[in-house]
Amino acid sequence: MGDSTRTTSGGIESVAETVARFRERFLEKISAGSFELPVLPEAASRVMQATADENCDARKLAEMIQRDASLAGHVLRIANSALYAPTTAIVSLQQAVSRLGMKKIKEIALLIATQTKVFKVPGYDAQVRAIFKHSIAAAAYAQEIARRRRWNVEDAFLCGLLHDAGKPVLWQLLADVQRELKLGVEPSLVEDVLDSMHAGVGAQLVESWKLPERLAETIAHHHRPQEASNVAQAAMMIQFADDLAHFAAGPREVTEEQLRAHPMIEPLNVYRDELDALLAKKQAIATAAETLL
Amino acid sequence: MSSPVPPSPEPIETFDVVVIGSGPAGHKATIQAAKAGKRVLLVERETNVGGACVHRGTIPSKTLRETALAFTAFRRKTGEVFPITVREDLEVASLMTRMEEVVKAHERFMTEQLRRNGATKLHGRARFLDDRTIAVEQVRGNVRRARGEVIIIATGSQPRAPADVPIDHDKILDSDSILSMTWLPRSLTVLGAGVIASEYASIFAALGVKVTMIDKGMRPLAFLDSEIADKFVAAFKRNGGCYLGGRRHVKVEWDGIDSVVTTLDDGTEIRSERLLCCLGRISNVDDLDLAAAGLAVNERGLLAVDAHCATKVPHIYAVGDVIGPPALASSSMEQGRRAVCHALGLSLGHGSETIPAGIYTIPEMSQVGLTEIEAIKKYGGCLVGRARYEELARGQISAIQDGMLKLVADPGGQRVLGVQIVGEGACELIHVGQMALIGGSDVDSFVDNIFNFPTLAEAYRVAALDIVKQRAKLFPNGLPAVMPTLDAPLKTA
């Protein structure tokens, strides 16, 4: 925390008390589940632009949604909400598009762009953009691994896209609580909170959108796949895709050597030439992730 | 393709028999050789044993089929009293909740059998160094070498990916990826009309998916008796399926929004949520470096073998899908056994050449021996007895539609030459006919002996009576001698 002591109505509060108060408020918000995935301002404006056009290219809008973690998340949330009262539980973006039709998807996109909280945490803009970029790369890599293993490609893509969705939520929440309690938070604490909580919060988010349990479970365990009894394979795939994405698009530095010695290589049965093929996609995936942002 | 293997510090391990691939053919070969007391190495590139049969197609698809079947049978057998429809949000996985159990149980059984028989299993990709030595590249890249006095190639096959079908295993799938779909599509286009295409097309149609099959053949499953195939098409159509024969695709494309667009050579455009490409399979030989063993595939991409499954290198055998049709799990297992028996000089027993074909469509189909056309070609004629399931008490009770059994006999109407069945239980019922063929039984044995009542097996009796009736008309003055061209002596009832 910033100041060592603060004056409260009850008198002087110690640092420990402040930290405790902060943590309590923060955890309160988390357990209430009263959070949403913030949308990047540029994503919102892109959607506005696309939908404002009478001849809005459905293909372009569909692609836009597919490639932005927050837009994708919100489309799924709204598609499964009472607003659209689906007779069909929507489990993937593809299904949302084909069941609801482009007209409704357009409506939903506009709704997201106008009503969703736009990400606004001074000092964390760059990190959030980096996470969104990383998410696209992870989705692309997860899709690639799933294709090779003949596992479900849609699930892989969605889990890759949303695996770090907890991070922007936590940044936003931390910022909100800071503002509320008029406190400053040390960057190291932010890191700790993010590292330890983003997988769980991401899973909670996905669950709140009524997506299949296996997706939430996969996201919850993407750093500890061995603990994901029902979705171990998928969680291992996401962990590997996560590191491949860091290698291709950052933000963390992951080297080729680290990937060649990756603990998931054996359980995922990735032979050398298959790994070579994945590594060779680095540039293409980095470029694809870059163009969106 | 292959880079030279650096000299390995590890010595070459030696075995009597090295088997490459652990599907039905390789597994059976391994067990057979191990039971004969040989030192056997089984190389498998996947983490688990079983091959495509256990992990990709045969067993998983039958599990989905069982659900589809139970669903349609429930509707039918309860006289449609209960209004059940497939929920639109049905996830494919939920239809196969038992699949994992089924697959795991089968795999456990296979692994246990290998362990019990003392075979060594090695996880990695095999490649020939010479005609007796293979290098096995493990997943981390380290290489082990093994020498086998006998080597058996059982690497199987994989779906062919035609250059003009952009398979992404997401919207445009093949038979390896079709079961990984998350949600049940509303519509599915199936390219091809072979066994795999017909099985999936009919399973998905039974689940309420609007299925369109496209093939150059006017009717699916060209090798089947046409009457049987027509019954299948009729059932497929009743389930909402559509068969577009005599056409082929010229373009397959995802529209970027919600449909796969298939354009046909007659200009027809078909839009569907998903597409399944089943245009043949190719042998898995790419990683093997066959040339190092002095082998090559033929113009059809298959390894050529003799009657004992030996390749042109006498101590190297090839079994299962890698040698081409019939490419059934059952025939592959038998090939594995035969190859080992031949290599080790063991007796084969009294097996016959008769292999039944089982097709797990809805309704299922099966045949053994000669079809009507084949019999006419071979013997200049034949008598055919038919039994329709509607004529059977069991067929009526179970409300089975589209069932038919065809019994093909020699022109004198005495010896059974073949049986074709379409309808529930076909793949089980066929074995009655198979035993009759193997035993050289005559048509009358089905009339003179007693079958359980009410059963579908009674179809044999009805069909035999049909032949007896025709025979009586044709030969009012007594039966002709059994055709001299029929080799084995006829056993009369």
Q: Does A147 touch chain B (CB under 8 A)?
A: yes
B308 DSSP β-pair partners: none
From the candidates A59, A84, A92, A94, which should be mutated to test the interface with B, based on the most B CB atoms within 10 A? A94
Enclosing domain of residue A90? 41-115
**Domain endpoint, select from A86, A115, A144:** A115
What residues does each domain of chain B span?
13-56+94-158+282-344, 161-279, 363-474
B183 contacts in A (CB within 8 Å)?
91-92, 95
Rounded CA separation B388/B459 (Å): 7
- For residue B474, what pLDDT is reported? 93
What secondary structure does DSSP assign to B162-218, as a single string?
A: -TTS---SSSEEETTTGGG-SB--SEEEEE--SHHHHHHHHHHHHTT-EEEEEESSS
Q: Does B176 touch chain A (CB under 8 A)?
A: yes
Residue B489, pLDDT > 60, answer no
A94's tokens: 């593809």
B47–A269 CB contact, under 8 Å:
yes
Confidence band of B5 (pLDDT split at 50, 70, 90): low
Q: How far is CA A3 from CA A119, A175, A186, A188, in A?
A: 27, 17, 11, 16
Q: Does B3 touch chain A (CB under 8 A)?
A: no
Sign of CA dihedral A173, A174, A178, A179: negative
Using alpha carbons only, what angle is made at residue B102 by residues B99 and B103, rounded to the nearest 5 degrees?
Answer: 85
Q: How many CB pairs under 8 A join A and B?
A: 81
**Domain endpoint, select from A55, A82, A115:** A115
Q: Is residue A287 part of a domain?
A: yes
Pairing of strands B269-272, B172-174: unpaired
Segment 149-168 of chain B within 8 Å of chain A by CB:
168
Rounded CA separation B106/A132 (Å): 43
> How many Å lie between the alpha carbon of B185 and the closest alpha carbon of chain A?
9
Question: What average pLDDT score do residues A192-214 get?
Answer: 90
Segment 203-262 of chain A within 8 Å of chain B by CB:
212
Sequence-ordered list of residues with C-beta below 8 angstroms from that of A63, at least 6 positions apart, any chain = B256
Q: Tens of pLDDT along B96-115?
A: 777 778 888 888 999 999 99
Q: Are B122 and B43 in contact (CB under 8 A)?
A: yes
Q: Is residue A235 part of a domain?
A: yes
Q: Write the burial class of residue B1 (CB in 10 Å: 0-12 exposed, 13-18 middle, 19+ buried).
A: exposed
Residue A5, pLDDT > 50, answer no
The CATH number of the domain where A284 resides is what?
Answer: 1.10.3210.10
Pairing of strands B383-388, B404-409: antiparallel
Phi, psi of B209 (to 5 degrees): -80, 140
Q: Which residue is associated with the tokens 């652990």?
A: B22
A160 and A111 housed in the same domain = no
More confident call, B251 vs A209: B251
Residue B247, pLDDT > 80, answer yes
Q: State which fold the B13-56+94-158+282-344 domain adopts.
A: FAD/NAD(P)-binding domain (3.50.50)
- For residue A210, what pLDDT is reported? 85
Question: What average pLDDT score do residues A210-223 get?
Answer: 92
In which element (H, E) is residue A216 found? helix A213-220
From the candidates B95, B139, B174, B210, which should be mutated to test the interface with A, based on the most A CB atoms within 10 A? B139
ipTM of the complex as predicted: 0.86
From the candidates B92, B95, B258, which should be mutated to test the interface with A, based on the most A CB atoms within 10 A? B258
Look up the CATH number of domain B161-279: 3.50.50.60
B257 contacts in A (CB within 8 Å)?
58-59, 62, 97-98, 102
Q: Does B183 touch chain A (CB under 8 A)?
A: yes
Question: What average pLDDT score do residues B399-409 get?
Answer: 90
B170–A272 CB contact, under 8 Å:
no
- For residue A11, what pLDDT is reported? 61
B180–A98 CB contact, under 8 Å:
no
Residue A7, pLDDT > 60, answer no
Confidence band of B483 (pLDDT split at 50, 70, 90): low
B95 contacts in A (CB within 8 Å)?
none
Confidence band of A225 (pLDDT split at 50, 70, 90): very high
Q: Is residue A30 part of a domain?
A: no
Q: Are B157 and B284 in contact (CB under 8 A)?
A: yes
Q: Tens of pLDDT along A118-134?
A: 787 877 888 888 998 99
**Predicted TM-score (pTM) of this structure:** 0.90
A90 and A194 housed in the same domain = no
Confidence band of A20 (pLDDT split at 50, 70, 90): confident
- For residue B101, what pLDDT is reported? 81
Total domains in chain A come to 2
Q: Is residue A4 part of a domain?
A: no
Q: Does B274 touch chain A (CB under 8 A)?
A: no
A150–B89 CB contact, under 8 Å:
no
A149 and A244 housed in the same domain = yes
Q: Is residue A152 part of a domain?
A: yes
Confidence band of B205 (pLDDT split at 50, 70, 90): very high
A109 and A131 housed in the same domain = no
Q: Does A66 touch chain B (CB under 8 A)?
A: no
Q: Is residue A18 part of a domain?
A: no
Q: How far is CA A95 from CA A101, A134, B6, B14, B257, in A?
A: 9, 24, 50, 54, 10
Q: Is residue A137 part of a domain?
A: yes
A160 and A74 housed in the same domain = no
A219 and A265 housed in the same domain = yes
Q: Does B101 touch chain A (CB under 8 A)?
A: no
- For residue B9, what pLDDT is reported? 64
- For residue B364, what pLDDT is reported? 95
Q: Tens of pLDDT along B365-391?
A: 999 999 999 999 999 999 999 999 999
Q: Are B188 and B209 in contact (CB under 8 A)?
A: yes
Q: Does B141 touch chain A (CB under 8 A)?
A: yes
The CATH number corresponding to B363-474 among 3.30.390.30, 3.40.47.10, 3.30.910.20, 1.10.10.10 equals 3.30.390.30
A55 DSSP β-pair partners: none
Q: How far is CA A62 from the centre of its chain?
A: 18
Q: Is residue A223 part of a domain?
A: yes
> Which of A147-161, A180-194, B355-369, B446-460 is predicted with the least confidence, judged by mean pLDDT?
A180-194
Q: Are B50 and B78 in contact (CB under 8 A)?
A: no
Using alpha carbons only, what angle is made at residue A92 by residues A91 and A93, rounded to the nearest 5 degrees?
Answer: 140
More confident call, A199 vs B69: A199
Confidence band of B493 (pLDDT split at 50, 70, 90): very low
- For residue B477, what pLDDT is reported? 87
A111 and A129 housed in the same domain = no
B50's tokens: 């079983």
Sign of CA dihedral B299, B303, B305, B311: positive
Of the partner residues B56, B88, B168, the one whose CB lies closest to the CB of residue A88 = B88
B400's tokens: 């089975």
| Short-list B218, B223, B216, B215, CA closest to B197 | B215
